[in-house]
Amino acid sequence: MMAAEKSGGRIPTIKDVAKAAGVSQATVSYVLNNLNKVSPEVDAHVRRVAHELGYSRNRAARALKTGRNNVIGCIMPSLLSPVFPEIAQAVQQRAEEHGFATFVIDSGLQTAAREAEAIRVLADHGVDGAIAVLGSPRPASDRPTLPLVVVDQPMDGMDAVYADHREGGRLLAEYAVGLGHRRVGLLSGLQGLYSSRERREGFVEAARGRLDIAWNVEVPLVPSLPQEAVDALRRGDVSLVVCVNDLIAMLALSALRQARVRVPEDVSVMGFDDMQWSSWPLLNLTTVRQPLGRLGRDAVDLLVRRLDAPDAEITNIILPVSLIERGST
Amino acid sequence: MMAAEKSGGRIPTIKDVAKAAGVSQATVSYVLNNLNKVSPEVDAHVRRVAHELGYSRNRAARALKTGRNNVIGCIMPSLLSPVFPEIAQAVQQRAEEHGFATFVIDSGLQTAAREAEAIRVLADHGVDGAIAVLGSPRPASDRPTLPLVVVDQPMDGMDAVYADHREGGRLLAEYAVGLGHRRVGLLSGLQGLYSSRERREGFVEAARGRLDIAWNVEVPLVPSLPQEAVDALRRGDVSLVVCVNDLIAMLALSALRQARVRVPEDVSVMGFDDMQWSSWPLLNLTTVRQPLGRLGRDAVDLLVRRLDAPDAEITNIILPVSLIERGST
DNA sequence: CGATTTGGTTTAAACGTGTAAATCGACCCT
DNA sequence: AGGGTCGATTTACACGTTTAAACCAAATCG
C-alpha cells in the first residue's frame, strides 16, 4: 500500500524518486552511490523516499554506463561430482563478500566446444569476469575478452590457483611405502588433464624402486568405471589401489564391494581431494586433502584484483596439500 | 589481425558496424535481430562486416531497451547434496534450449532470510525470472516482483512443479508390508518442509495397522545425523529403516556400518529420490524415484510460459513416482 | 499520368543510469 | 561592499541499443 501504486503500477525509476523527493536525478544518484556529495538532511530524505517507493536501481542501465555488472561467472565441468560444488560454494561466498553475484555454469564434460560456449555466453551476458575449472588445455582463445582465473591448473598468460598435485602424489607414495605395501594398482585420470597427470607423475616418481605398479588404468570423468578397471580390481594381485580422486575411489570401493573384496583387510584404497563425503564411515577414505575452499576463495580474490588492475602481473597461487589417514588403508 | 584493431582497440559498437558497412544503425539492428526487414544483399553485407569487426551486441544496452535479459535464476538450498545439482543441470539444459542462460545460486540452508536475499539479488541483477527450491513455506513476499516457479512443493499463487511425495510414501509402506516387515524406524525430514511432511504422512497413512513405527527421528538438512538418530539405529529394535531421502539413507548406512550392523541382513534401509549414486553397489539403495530431470525441465517450461504470458493462469504440475528395488532391502 | 501503395532504409527518440561541468548561494576576507 | 571560495545541487550529455515513425524511390493503379 505505502509502496508503489504512486506511479500507476509502473516500476519506479530514479526520475520518479527525484520528482517525489523534489530534487534532481543526479542528487538521487549521488546518494544511492554513497558518494558523500550531498548534505545529510537531503541524503536522509532521498533515502526515505526511495525506500517508500520501493525503488531499486536498474542494473541494465547502470551496467550500460559503468561497464560493470558486478557479476562473475563460475564455470564448472560438472555439478554432479561433489568436488566442484564445494569449490563453487566457496567462490560464491567470497564473491558475495566482494559485492559480486555469482553465475554458476555447468560446462559439461565434453570439454573444448562447450567450454568456449560457456565463456561466450558469460561474456554475452555481461559478466565482469569468471573463474573456471577447465578440462581442455587451452581456453579456445576465440574471445579472449573476458578476465579469467583458472582453477586447478596453471595456464599461459592467466592467473591461476591450484593445489600442489605432484606433492600430493608423492605423499601418497611415501605413505604407501611406510605402510609396507609393495604391489599397487593405479586408477589414474585422463592424462590430458594437468591435475591427473601431475598426481600420477608425483606418485610414480616417489614410488620408483620402492613400489611395483602392477597396473594402471586411465578412468574418464564419467561416474562409472570402465570394464578394464573393474577387471583389474577383481584380479586381486595388489595390496593397494591408488585413485586419482575420491570420486573414482568411491567407484572403486563400490566395485570391490560388489566383488566381495574387503577393504582394508584384502586391499587398501587411497583417493585424492578429501571431498566432504570421504570422511563418512561408509567410505572412510584415506586421501590427500586439497583445500577446496581456499581454492575458490583465492581464485575470487585474484579475479577481483585483476578487474581492478587489468594490467597487474600474472599470478599463480599453489596451495599445499596434506595426507589424511583414515580407515581404507 | 583481420578483426578489431580497426577502431583503435576499442570494443566495436553497432555504430562502428553501421559506419563500416555504410548503412544506418537501425539497419544493423534489424539484421542482427533477424527481423527480416532488410534486403538479402544488405543483410549479407552487414553480417560480414559485423563478423569481421568481431562485433557482438552489448547485453546491458539491449536489456535496457527491451527489459529482457534472457537470464533465469535457479535457487537451490545447497549444491552439496547431489539431488539439487541434478535438478539444476536439467534446468540449465532446458533453459539453454529456450535461449536463456542460467544463474545458479546457492541460497544456503538457513532458509528464510537468505532465500529472500537470493531473490533480491537475482531481481537486482536483472534476471527475467527464477525457478526455486525453497525451504521456507513463504517466499518472503517482500519483493514479489520476480516471476517464480517453485519446485518440490506447491505454493499459493505461484506456478509449481513437484513429485507426488505422498504417493511415494505410500509405495514405500506397501513395499515394506509386502516384504513382511513389521517394526520399522523412521528418519523423517524437517516437518516444516512440504515434501518431508507429505512423504512421512503418505507412509504413516498406508502403514496404519500394518506396520509398527517403533521410532521417528526428525533429521535436519545438514549432512550428519543427530545423536538421537544414531542411538536409534544402534538399538536394533527394527527390521527396516525408512529415510526421508537418499542422502539421509546414506548417512544411515554409514552409521550402521560403523556400528557393524549389516544391511540388509540385520536391517533394511529405504530412501527417497533415487539420486544418481543410489544405484551404485556401495549403496545399492532401494528407494522411490522422483523424476529429477523432468522436475527441472517442466519448471523451466512453466517459467518461460509465464514470461510470455504474465497473466496465464497458475499451473501446478504433479509428477509420478515409482519404486526402485535394490539390495538394501 | 498523377496518386497511392509498398518495401527498404533512415531518422530520431527513447530506455535508466552515472558523472563532468555548470550553476547557485552562502559565506569569508580585505 | 564586492570579489572570491567553497560546498551543495542541478543541468545536460553520454552509454549502446531497439523501434516507432518518417522518408524515399520504385512499382502499381485508377
What one-character-per-residue DSSP string does B35-52 give? ---S-HHHHHHHHHHHHH
Is A327 touching B (CB cutoff 8 A)?
A: no
pLDDT band at B312 (very low <50, low <70, confident <90, very high): confident
Q: Which triple of cell numbers denotes residue B168? A: 511415494
pLDDT score, position B143: 46
pLDDT band at B310 (very low <50, low <70, confident <90, very high): confident
The residues near A199 (Cβ < 8 Å, ≥ 6 apart) are A165, A166, A168, A169, A188, A189, A244, A272
Kindly report the backbone phi and psi dihedral angles of residue A75, in degrees, each rounded to the nearest multiple of 5, phi listed first: -95, 120
The percent of residues in chain A predicted with pLDDT above 70, rounded, is 93
Average pLDDT, rounded, for chain B: 88
Q: Which triple of cell numbers denotes residue B73? A: 535464476
Query: Chain B partners of A277 at a C-beta cutoff of 8 Å?
Result: 223
pLDDT score, position B139: 56
Same-fold call for A67-162+293-320 versus A165-289 = yes
Q: A264 preceded by cis ω (within 30°)?
A: yes
Q: Which triple of cell numbers denotes residue A41? A: 538532511
Distance from chain centroid for Cα B28:
39
How many CB pairs lie under 8 A apart between chains A and B? 122
Segment holding B18, helix H or strand E: helix B14-21
A58 with B67: CB under 8 angstroms? no
Tens digit of pLDDT for each residue in B149-204?
999 999 988 999 999 999 999 999 999 999 999 999 999 998 988 999 999 999 99
Q: What's the rounded mean pLDDT across residues B12-31?
A: 92
Pairing of strands A322-324, A287-289: antiparallel
Segment holding B180, helix H or strand E: none
Map residue B324 onto helix, strand or coil.
strand
Query: Chain A partners of B124 at a C-beta cutoff of 8 Å?
Result: 56-57, 59
pLDDT score, position A151: 96
Task: Taking the CA atoms of A303, A308, A310 and A314 in sequence, report the sign of the dihedral they define.
Answer: negative
A219 with A187: CB under 8 angstroms? yes
Tens digit of pLDDT for each residue in A129-180?
999 999 876 655 544 568 999 999 999 889 999 999 999 999 999 999 999 9
Report the C-alpha gap between B65 and B54 in whole angstroms: 22
Weakest-pLDDT range from B63-77, B82-96, B263-277: B63-77
pLDDT band at A236 (very low <50, low <70, confident <90, very high): confident
DSSP annotation of B313 reads P
The single-letter code of the amino acid at A88 is: A
Q: Which triple of cell numbers denotes residue A91? A: 567462490
Q: B264 preceded by cis ω (within 30°)?
A: yes
CA B94 to each of CA A5, A36, B130: distance values in angstroms, whole numbers, following the listed order? 36, 46, 13
Q: What's the rounded mean pLDDT across residues B266-294?
A: 94
B145 with B176: CB under 8 angstroms? no
Q: Which candidate from B56, B86, B282 shows the least CB-CB separation from A253?
A: B282
Q: What's the rounded mean pLDDT across residues A296-322?
A: 93
B304 with B100: CB under 8 angstroms? yes
Segment holding B141, helix H or strand E: none
B275 with B247: CB under 8 angstroms? yes
Position B1 pLDDT exceeds 50? no
CATH superfamily of B67-162+293-320: Response regulator (3.40.50.2300)
Q: Which triple of cell numbers denotes residue A82? A: 561433489
Report the C-alpha gap between B44 and A198 in whole angstroms: 49
Q: Which triple of cell numbers denotes residue A168? A: 600430493
- Fold assignment, A3-57: 434 Repressor (Amino-terminal Domain) (1.10.260)
- Beta-carbon separation of B280 and A105 below 8 A: no
More confidently predicted of A232 and A140: A232
Map residue B131 onto helix, strand or coil.
strand
Q: Count other C-beta atoms under 10 Å from residue A32's C-beta.
A: 18
Is B110 touching A (CB cutoff 8 A)?
A: no
Query: Chain A partners of B255 at a C-beta cutoff of 8 Å?
Result: 281
Q: What's the rounded mean pLDDT across residues A31-43?
A: 90
Strand C footprint nucleotides (protein C-beta < 7 Å) = 7-12, 14-21
Q: Which triple of cell numbers denotes residue B126? A: 536483472
Weakest-pLDDT range from A227-231, A279-283, B56-60, B107-111: B107-111
Task: Taking the CA atoms of B219, B225, B231 and B235 in sequence, report the sign of the dihedral they define.
Answer: positive
Nearest CA in chain A to B88: A79
Report the C-alpha gap between A72 and A101 in whole angstroms: 6
Query: Chain A partners of B251 at a C-beta cutoff of 8 Å?
Result: 280
Q: Which nucleotide across the nucleic acid strands is nearest to B56, CA versus C1'?
A: D16
pLDDT score, position A112: 75
What residue ranges do the domains of chain B occupy? 3-57, 67-162+293-320, 165-289
Distance from chain centroid for Cα A218:
23
Report the C-alpha gap between A197 and A78 in whole angstroms: 20
A220 with A229: CB under 8 angstroms? no
pLDDT score, position A85: 94
Tens digit of pLDDT for each residue in A80-114?
888 999 999 999 989 988 878 888 888 877 667 77
Average pLDDT, rounded, for chain A: 88
Q: What is the 3-state secondary structure (H, E, C) of chain A?
A: CCCCCCCCCCCCCHHHHHHHHCCCHHHHHHHHCCCCCCCHHHHHHHHHHHHHHCCCCCHHHHHHHHCCCCEEEEEECCCCCCHHHHHHHHHHHHHHHCCCEEEEEECCCCHHHHHHHHHHHHHHCCCCEEEECCCCCCCCCCCCCCCEEEECCCCCCCEEEEECHHHHHHHHHHHHHHCCCCEEEEEEECCCCHHHHHHHHHHHHHHCCCCEEEEEEEECCCCCCCHHHHHHHHHCCCCEEEECCHHHHHHHHHHHHHCCCCCCCCCEEECCECCHHHHCCCCCCEEEECCHHHHHHHHHHHHHHHHHCCCCCCCEEEECCEEECCCCC
- Fold assignment, A165-289: Rossmann fold (3.40.50)
Is B280 touching A (CB cutoff 8 A)?
A: yes
Cα of B255 to nearest chain A Cα, Å = 7
- Beta-carbon separation of B257 and A86 below 8 A: no
